[in-house]
Amino acid sequence: MCPAVRSGSFIFIIPPLGFIFLLSVSPTGCRPPDAAIFHVKTLLLWDIDGTLISSGGAGMQALHRALTGVFGIAGSLDDIEFSGRTDRWIIRRTLEKYSLPATPENFDRYLAGYLAALPAQLSNPHARVLPGVREILAEAAARPDCAQGLLTGNVARGAEVKLGFHGLWSFFPFGAFADDSELRNDLGPHALRRAHAHHGVEFPPERVWIIGDTPHDIACGKVIGARTLAVATGNHPVAELRALAPDAVLADLADPVAFWQIINSPARPPS
Ligand SMILES: [Mg+2]
């Protein structure tokens, strides 16, 4: 007999391995008859453009061609912010600029034109997977304690076309996209909900990383209390990103060891 031990469940969290041991103690003895081990997964939520790949301007070129092909307007998009914005946000600004009604029909027509033009634009000499990305995605996919998905301003079909072009789409079983919201800061909860649905695990904010190349990626990570890793492989240099106080900044992802040291680092206690 072991009278000091009462029946119930006891949870032990062992950092930094990230395992929870759920120990069920039976009312009849000291030995745990129903011990179960659950992996608590670190969740990586990836931006696409400027973080995983450089499309060599394919997105802007495809939107430009769609503007001409769908609406007959051969105008510039140079003064519209692309970096970190969602496709639907960009389309709304484009429609406004050219005094086109922002109707659902015009959104749909523009998106259809964009998606039709995108594949041909990806075949340009500047389109590439950024350094270190393939290695890191492959290692993340192989780690039993790690899950990964997308949190991107692309519409889902555009993300599939861009990443599929480089053979990266299969790394991402779920994601949050511009289809979910025009505003990037709205996308975090959609990504967390789909991660939960896919893995059957709730991901606590301190084990979620938002990885992206713009101030908007950092902001949307902070909205959901996630940790943020900024990478300066887009249009924003290290100093600009660091000034926004992400949890970590890297010049690029070329060193997978440096990347995993950040991801495996313990979370800072809340201030
Ligand atoms: Mg980006």
User: Coil, strand, or helix at residue 49?
Assistant: strand
The pLDDT, as a whole number, for residue 41 is 86
For the stretch 198-252, pLDDT in tens is 999 899 999 999 999 999 999 999 999 999 999 999 999 999 999 999 999 999 9
Gap between the Cα atoms of 209 and 212, Å rounded:
10
The pTM for the full model equals 0.84
The top-level CATH class assigned to 58-122 is mainly alpha
Round the average pLDDT of the chain to a whole number and report it.
Answer: 87
pLDDT band with cut points at 50, 70 and 90 for residue 270? low
Residue 34 has pLDDT above 80, yes or no: no
Distance between Cα 155 and ligand 1 center (Å): 13
Gap between the Cα atoms of 206 and 43, Å rounded:
10
Distance between Cα 9 and ligand 1 center (Å): 44
User: With contact defined as beta carbons under 8 Å apart, do 189 and 197 qualify?
Assistant: no
List C-alpha distances in Å: 100 to 69, 70, 104.
14, 12, 12
| 42-46, 98-102, 167-171, 199-203: least confident range | 199-203
Distance between Cα 156 and ligand 1 center (Å): 15
Distance between Cα 82 and ligand 1 center (Å): 9
Distance between Cα 61 and ligand 1 center (Å): 16
Distance between Cα 48 and ligand 1 center (Å): 6
Distance between Cα 23 and ligand 1 center (Å): 43
CATH architecture for residues 42-55+128-264: 3-Layer(aba) Sandwich (3.40)
| 26-40, 109-123, 159-173, 211-225: least confident range | 26-40
Q: Which two tokens stand for residue 2?
A: 């072991």
Distance between Cα 113 and ligand 1 center (Å): 22
Distance between Cα 7 and ligand 1 center (Å): 51
Q: Which two tokens stand for residue 233?
A: 């492989």
Burial category of 220 from C-beta neighbours within 10 Å (exposed 0-12, middle 13-18, buried 19 and up) = buried
pLDDT band with cut points at 50, 70 and 90 for residue 82? confident
Gap between the Cα atoms of 72 and 100, Å rounded:
11
Q: Residue ranges per domain, the chain?
A: 8-39, 42-55+128-264, 58-122
Distance between Cα 151 and ligand 1 center (Å): 10
The pLDDT, as a whole number, for residue 22 is 37
Gap between the Cα atoms of 112 and 71, Å rounded:
12
Distance between Cα 154 and ligand 1 center (Å): 9
Residue 19 has pLDDT above 70, yes or no: no
Distance between Cα 160 and ligand 1 center (Å): 15
Neighbours of 155 (CB within 10 A): 20
Q: Which two tokens stand for residue 258?
A: 């440096």
Distance between Cα 228 and ligand 1 center (Å): 13
